[in-house]
């Protein structure tokens, strides 16, 4: 940590800061410049809040210089993490596409969708079994019955399953039916949930919160990893900005930024990122062009009658056409897509 | 709901939208204008997503005209809600101040603080027993022992207790020790938690999420109220913006906006709103001047040694001085503060 | 316009709104529903502020249903606008790349750069002659001498010139040397400048302001077009959000949104969008993958010694490699890039 | 400046950064720590972009430690700046209120308003003579005739005049009629305009841009001051955020933050800050409670017929009532308001 003292800060204030740093276990290196005294502190872990030092008398500003995440840091595994689930490898040369409806509505729906997306080249089927909605009066999901339907359709079509865990109490259930446990944007900082997922041995798909910085996303990944579960897939799905033409603003630049900072795989969710079907293909293509390791896309065999998020779900034929374009783009950036 | 068709949308598209509305239980009123056909739909509850209609062929835009929250709506109780807990009335003419440390650290700390804030005119002591932090390596709170300490100190000093419930599994425990159950900003859309709190009979202090709109805050209040618990206190505590000079941007205008839209009491949390001690008094004064029904403020008897959020905690003498100013401002807006 | 009255608004308030609408030249259509009276107003131009109606007694909300821009609207020219400058066509099947340094620094610099970018497939050279910086103490540009250097190098290498006009007083000068007049993000709502550019016959490259909505960008284009100059190229170059990992958040979704709303060509500026060289190629690829009609990219033959924005300028070899990738992506979306 | 090298950066990279710093005129101090080498650079002015160093090989991050503004810095005049115009002192113990219509519409309007606001305690009348609007089809202002009307009414009622200068070409005209030259939010970074205002001897009211950080506002003040004009009044008027319940989000915390960072007077503009009449009084009170040195408020004698911004203008009786409340709040914070 670097503590920059104010111009002309008296020696007593400098000593007070040094005492405080030593008390917290830092080794202190002092550098007296023409205008500012700068204190460098080296400690075992930089997890304190720099604001704690910025309120001390005579302190101008304070900077952490050691990254607050260790296990998620690129340096920890410069070669990158490849998550292998059966024959599917996430984070390798192949761009992995996950597709399916927002929520599981019926056996027929899932069987039709699974078959369609598998044929188009997807490797994982998505679908929510629990859908607590922002209105207390909306459809709330099929629960365990939905998970069974998802599992069966996936097995019949050679797909993996990804489904969302909303709450600690659902981890055991989801673990039984799903290959990847999804943490939604609203739960990105549900630290109790993250801690329990750290004890799981299932890969976790961690979505960025709509107001979360990239650093906060990595700290949440660190939370899971610190429990021993290193199989974390990061997902950009749009942040909240002043623009209202799209539901969120999908931060495509988060993809190359994350690829520089971490070894974990990074995918994009264009369906939630923009929230309108007509914009989804463009953003899916942008995700792959920007270096994403995968995509999670909402596809519904009959979106006009979907019980949730129909407006952002692709028609099956749109999805198939998109997959063709994605294959070309993947090869332009030295990757591939199955099919 | 109003559906505005595109200029020149053919009759078949108009009919398709009408069919869809009828299928969803709406009574449809059609209005054919010079440029646009407008369809007005009247239904039992406007909880669907307007985006579902905006993707239909020929539709230009769609507006909900019935507010998506009913119980939280000002219209439901135009006279305003006053929450009575013992002799404390929140939402009445008196501005209620809640004060105390970020987290409960020791019996001594809480006893000193409780005595100090009670003397200065606070009616409620705050303090967190569970502190899951954004870093997995930080102090995580005293748990139930902390709640006991808080309860005892409050009782000795004639104060109420407000403390945060992080998880559904903690509701029973918090209910035993705390008079008001606080829902933190990160849990504002944890709908499972909100639903369970709706079944509780304890008042809930609901904090606005850092990326939540005012309408979303009201929808979360509706969630709790729809379970039968109408004792909800709303709290503005800062939203995330591009400005980095403060931790968050405290949206003081949310206070008068909420007072127009809802009958529920509205308070401000200047400590989290700005995150720096030197700015807290100005924002506390602004909250009362803008019409807030109360405040929740971090006060620590020794902030330089606080285990969390020391940088934003007031010194006891600062708090006492602030209370004097707040009393004058309260009277300027026709309110009062105890003391 | 649609005016939705509050539930139970008395007839006198309804009449007052009708009177106001008629006074402003609207033809009014009234629709009385079960809960709400809705007034539809048809006028010659919907340029008023709906907020003017929302403050009237009894009014709940107000929606414009006619787009506030006419000439920039897709409907005005559904086939799309192609801007032809010499043999270069912007908005056609070819994706046009503009490249060059942030600011013109010397004849040698521009000659080297022009030759390099032309060889790699760029069709336009960029470079600023006037650089008022956010600090009053920084390099302020070469002025007219810089424009001469730019023009000469462009002519020798078969390129067009794009350069920024900072002020109305510079229009004549820029018109003499530049083929495209660039309006910077800070001037997007400098309406005096836009009005004068409307009288020009030079194509205008209009950058989106960092806090401008897509609708505001289109209204600024309308400002120029209403003066008779229909040759406007829109440019996404990043908006300001809470994320600090990148200088701005480049809103890639603005590209497909704009292509739906307007007939004008849309390009991306990844250099300003992210502000860091290592991220520029990913965002340039995303722009083309998302359907952009072109790119404007900073390239410097020696970025480590650039007088401005060196940190975001590509090295020449990076640019050449990027162009190869862009060609493949362009063909994946049915476009082409020269070279 | 502090440059933090990456962990394990080789000596050659460290030397390269040192060479670069020396070339730019910095004296370099090197500090080799356990994990990171840190270079401290002391230079005459810290006006470069730290990003220039962050892209060098081996550099992890870079921090400016000397504030980029000097003249606007609190340190430059710790006692604070009081701007005296006739008998009016801005920045002293009295809170100064500026009031009047958005735009000058007629002689009668201004005379009525001037008399009303003077009686209620305002010291300055506001009113725009040039109104370039975001739509090219709206009312554009009375021009010089409007300024004459404003001057005459101000003189008859013992008021000062504040009016906006939109463009460098208008400075001479505004200087003739107005006591304070207002720079609108959209021009906050129009550096050519700021430079010319630095040569003026009229006080400047500088509004914060809707996407400007507090530091950028201070850099714009520095621009004016570096030309020799130290009479700058800063104005918070709302920033753009995701919240749509108000036109902008008025950042009340900017007031105490600015009072800590600069010696310049700081006022608030609640009318543009929130954009709705019913919210203006609460935000005006909050401004004074938070320590603002003044207010600029829109008041119209007949807002329902205002040609611009009627929705946010107070009725005269509302304004008079508000002034009464503001007097009480001013005295609660040790200030006064005339009347």
Q: Are C53 and C196 in the same domain?
A: no
Shared domain for C223 and C309, answered yes or no, is: yes
Percent with pLDDT over 70 in chain A: 95
Query: Looking at CA atoms only, how far is residue A230 from chain B in angstroms?
Result: 15
**What is the reported pLDDT for A50?**
74
- pLDDT value of position B245: 92
Residue A223 has its nearest CB partner, among B54, B136, B247, at B136
In this structure, is residue D186 part of a structural domain?
yes
**Chain D residues whose beta carbon lies within 8 Å of the beta carbon of residue A241:** 242
Q: Tell me, yes or no, whether C45 and C137 share the same domain.
A: no
The confidence score (pLDDT) of residue D201 equals: 93
**Shortest Cα distance, chain C CAs vs residue D89, angstroms:** 28
The partner residue sitting opposite A290, judged by closest CB among C245, C251, C282, is: C282
Distance from CA of D240 to the nearest CA of A (A): 7
Q: Do A250 and C252 touch (CB under 8 A)?
A: yes
Among chain D, residues having any CB pair with chain A shorter than 8 Å are: 2, 4, 7, 27, 29, 31, 33-36, 38, 40, 42, 60-61, 63, 65-66, 75, 240-242, 244
Same domain, C245 and C321: yes
pLDDT value of position C51: 74
User: Which residue in the set A52, A240, A247 is minimally distant from B310, CB to CB?
Assistant: A52
Tokens describing residue C246: 């990148």
**From A174-183, B38-47, B290-299, D110-119, the region with the lowest mean pLDDT:** B38-47
Examine the fold and report which residue of A63, A84, A107 is the final residue of a domain before the chain moves on.
Answer: A63
> D91-148: per-residue pLDDT in tens?
999 999 999 999 999 999 999 999 999 999 999 999 999 876 655 555 678 899 999 9
Distances (CA, A) of D229 to A52, D173, D232: 38, 18, 8
Give the CATH number, domain containing residue B18. Answer: 3.30.70.1140
Give residue B133's pLDDT.
60
Cross-chain residue pair A68–B190, CB shorter than 8 Å: no
Residue B138 has pLDDT above 80, yes or no: no
Over residues A113-137, the mean pLDDT reads 86
Per-residue model confidence as pLDDT tens digits over B193-219: 999 999 999 999 999 999 999 999 999
Read off the pLDDT of residues B78-96 as tens digits, 9 standing for 90 and up.
Answer: 999 999 999 999 999 999 9
Note the pLDDT tens digit of each residue in C312-334. Answer: 899 999 999 999 999 999 999 99
Counting residues of chain C whose pLDDT is more than 70, the rounded percentage is 95
CA distance C254 to chain B (A): 18
Answer yes or no: do A253 and C283 touch at CB < 8 A: yes
Alpha-carbon dihedral of residues C72, C73, C76, C79, nearest 10 degrees?
Answer: 100
Q: Among the residues of chain C, which ranges form H helices?
A: 11-23, 51-54, 107-120, 144-156, 171-177, 191-198, 214-225, 254-261, 270-274, 280-289, 316-332
* Nearest chain B alpha carbon to C61: B65
**C46 and C136 belong to one structural domain:** no
Q: Distance (Å) from the C-alpha of residue C246 to the closest C-alpha of chain B?
A: 12
Of B241, B250, B285, the CB nearest to D289: B285
Q: Is A85 inside a domain boundary?
A: yes
Of D191, D222, D311, the CB nearest to C49: D311
CB contact at 8 A, A273 and A248? yes
> Percentage of chain C with pLDDT > 90?
68
d(CA C96, CA C99): 10
Check residue C333 and give its pLDDT: 97
- Set of chain B residues whose Cβ sits within 8 Å of the Cβ of C75: 7
A338 located within any domain? no
Cβ–Cβ gap D35/A66 under 8 Å: yes
Nearest one of B181, B127, B125, B126 to B158, comparing CA atoms = B125
Which residues of chain A have a Cβ shorter than 8 Å from any chain C Cβ? 211, 213-215, 239, 241-246, 249-257, 260, 273-274, 278-279, 282-283, 285-291, 325, 328-329, 331-333
pLDDT reported for residue D23 = 79
Count residue pairs from A and D with Cβ separation < 8 A. 56
Decide if D325 and B332 are in contact by the 8 Å CB cutoff: yes
Please give the pLDDT value at position A305. Answer: 74
Nearest Cβ partner of B286 from D213, D243, D252? D252
pLDDT band at C139 (very low <50, low <70, confident <90, very high): low
pLDDT digits (tens, 9 = 90+) for B174-188: 999 999 999 999 999
Question: Does B77 or C44 have the greater pLDDT score?
Answer: B77
| pLDDT(C228) > 80 | yes
Nearest CB to C134 within list D135, D192, D216: D216
pTM over 0.90: yes
Neighbour-count burial of C23, counting CB atoms closer than 10 A to its CB (0-12 exposed, 13-18 middle, 19+ buried): exposed
pLDDT digits (tens, 9 = 90+) for A272-282: 999 999 999 99
Residue C47 has pLDDT above 70, yes or no: no
A88 plus A10 within the same structural domain? no
Contacts with C257 from chain B: Cβ below 8 Å? none
> Which residue is closest to B136 within chain A, CA to CA?
A223
User: Residue D320: which residues within 8 A CB-CB, separation 6 or more?
Assistant: D116, D119, D120
* pLDDT confidence of residue A9: 87
Residue D96 shares a structural domain with residue D165: yes
Are C7 and B36 inside 8 Å of each other by CB? no
What residue of C is the nearest CA neighbor of B63?
A: C63
Inter-CA distances, D202 with A87, D175, D176, D177, D326, Å: 74, 7, 10, 11, 28
Chain C interface with B: residues with Cβ < 8 Å: 2, 4, 7, 27, 29, 31, 33-36, 38, 40, 42, 60-61, 63, 65-66, 75, 240-242, 244
ipTM of the complex: 0.91
Nearest residue in chain A measured CA to CA from C273 = A253
What CATH number does the domain containing A105 carry? 3.20.20.70
Q: Name the residue facing C192 among D167, D210, D311 (closest C-beta).
A: D167
pLDDT at residue D55 in the model: 78
Q: Residue A276 and residue B51: Cβ atoms within 8 Å?
A: yes
Which of C47, C210, C304 lies at the smallest CB-CB distance from D135?
C47
Distance CA C166, CA C182 (A): 9
- B154 and B78 in one domain? yes
Subunits with 3+ Cβ pairs within 8 Å of D are A, B, C
Considering chain C, what is the average pLDDT of its residues?
91
CA distance B268 to B270: 6
Chain mean position to CA C28: 36
Taking CA–CA distances from D249, the nearest residue in chain A reads A242
> Within a 10 A sphere around the Cβ of A61, how many other Cβ atoms?
17
Q: Does residue D59 fall inside a structural domain?
A: yes
Which residues of chain A make contact with D50, given a CB cutoff of 8 A?
none
Judged against a pLDDT cut of 90, whether residue C124 lies above it is answered with yes
Res. B44 pLDDT band, cuts 50 70 90: low
Interchain proximity D63–A61, CB inside 8 Å: yes
Task: Answer with the one of A18, A41, A63 that is the final residue of a domain.
Answer: A63
Closest-CA residue of chain B to A24: B305
Nearest to C213 among A242, A287, A325 (CB): A242
Do strands C294-298 and D37-42 pair parallel, antiparallel, or not at all (unpaired)?
A: unpaired
Q: Would you say how long chain C is, in residues? A: 339
C-alpha D323/C-alpha D305 separation (Å) is 24
Rg of chain C over all Cα atoms, to the nearest angstrom: 23
Q: Do D135 and D210 share a domain, yes or no?
A: yes
Contact B251 D243 (CB under 8 A): yes
| B22 and B104 both lie in a single domain | no
Q: Mind listing the pLDDT tens digit for each residue in A199-230?
A: 999 999 999 999 999 999 999 999 999 999 99
- On whether residue A164 sits in a domain, the answer given is yes
- Is residue C339 in some structural domain? no
- The mean pLDDT of A5-16, rounded to a whole number, is 88
Per-residue pLDDT tens for C180-216?
Answer: 999 999 999 999 899 999 999 999 999 999 999 999 9
CA distance C100 to chain D (A): 18
Residue of chain C minimizing CA distance to D198: C136
If phi over 0 gives left and psi between -120 and 50 gives alpha, with beta otherwise, what is residue A143? Answer: left
3-state secondary structure of C253: coil
Residue C82 confidence (pLDDT):
98
pLDDT of B314 reads: 94
Distance CA C98, CA C125 (A): 6
Q: Which residues are bridge partners to D103 per DSSP?
A: D128
Q: Are residues C43 and C185 in the same domain?
A: no
Identify the CA nearest to C100 among candidates C85, C114, C90.
C114
Q: Which residue of A has its CA nearest to C292?
A: A282
**How many whole angstroms separate alpha carbon D318 and alpha carbon D311?**
14
**Residue C44: helix, strand or coil by DSSP?**
coil
Q: d(Cα B316, Cα A335) in Å, to the nearest integer?
A: 61
Picking from B51, B133, B223, the nearest residue to A311 by CB comes out as B51
The reported pLDDT for the residue numbered C133 is 60
| Residue A1 confidence (pLDDT) | 77
Task: Give a yes or no: residue C256 inside a domain.
Answer: yes
How many CB atoms lie under 10 A from the CB of residue B35? 12
- Give the distance from residue C319's alpha carbon to the nearest chain A alpha carbon, in angstroms: 15
Closest CA in chain C for residue B42: C34
Q: Given this model, what pLDDT does residue B114 score?
A: 96
- Inter-chain residue contact B329 with D329, CB threshold 8 Å: yes
The parts of chain D modelled with pLDDT lower than 70 are 33-34, 43-48, 132-139
Best of A17, A135, A275 to mutate (most B CBs within 10 Å, chain B): A135
Segments forming the whole domain that contains residue C256: 74-332
Banded pLDDT at B31 (limits 50, 70, 90): confident
Question: Do the domain assignments include residue C58?
Answer: yes
pLDDT (0 to 100) of residue C39: 84
Q: Considering its fold, how many domains does chain B have in total?
A: 2
Per-residue confidence (pLDDT) for residue B147, from 0 to 100: 96
Residue-level pLDDT at D138: 59
Q: Are residues A126 and A267 in the same domain?
A: yes
Confidence class for position B22, pLDDT limits 50, 70, 90: confident
Instruction: Decide if pLDDT at C132 tops 80.
Output: no
The distance of C339 to chain D (nearest Cα, Å) reads: 30
């Amino acid at each position: 940590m670097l503590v920059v003292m104010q111009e002309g800060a008296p020696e007593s204030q400098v000593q007070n800061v040094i005492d405080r740093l030593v008390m917290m276990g830092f080794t202190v290196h002092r550098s007296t410049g023409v205008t500012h005294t700068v204190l460098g502190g080296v400690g075992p872990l930089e997890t304190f809040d720099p604001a704690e030092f910025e309120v001390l008398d005579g302190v101008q500003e304070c900077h952490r210089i050691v990254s607050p995440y260790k296990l998620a840091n690129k340096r920890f595994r410069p070669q990158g993490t490849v998550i292998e689930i059966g024959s599917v490898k996430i984070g390798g040369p192949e761009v992995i596409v996950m597709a399916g409806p927002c929520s599981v509505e019926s056996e027929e729906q899932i069987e039709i969708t699974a078959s369609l997306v598998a044929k188009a080249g997807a490797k994982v089927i998505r679908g929510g079994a629990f859908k607590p909605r922002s209105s207390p009066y909306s459809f709330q999901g099929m629960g365990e019955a939905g998970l069974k339907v998802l599992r069966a359709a996936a097995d019949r079509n050679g797909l993996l399953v990804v489904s969302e865990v909303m709450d600690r109490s659902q981890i055991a259930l989801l673990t039984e039916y799903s290959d990847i446990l999804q943490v939604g944007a609203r739960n990105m900082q549900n630290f109790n949930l993250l801690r329990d997922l750290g004890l799981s041995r299932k890969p976790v798909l961690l979505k960025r919160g709509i107001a979360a910085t990239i650093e906060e996303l990595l700290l949440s990944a660190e939370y899971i990893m610190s429990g021993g579960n290193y199989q974390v897939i990061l997902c950009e799905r749009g942040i909240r900005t002043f623009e209202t033409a799209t539901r969120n603003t999908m931060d495509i630049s988060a993809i190359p930024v994350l690829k520089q900072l971490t070894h974990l795989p990074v995918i994009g969710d264009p369906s939630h990122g923009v929230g309108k079907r007509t914009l989804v293909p463009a953003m899916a293509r942008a995700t792959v062009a920007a270096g994403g390791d995968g995509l999670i896309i909402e596809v519904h065999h009959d979106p006009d009658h979907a019980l949730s998020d129909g407006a952002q779900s692709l028609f099956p034929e749109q999805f198939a056409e998109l997959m063709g374009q994605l294959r070309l783009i993947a090869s332009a950036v030295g990757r591939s897509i199955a099919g």
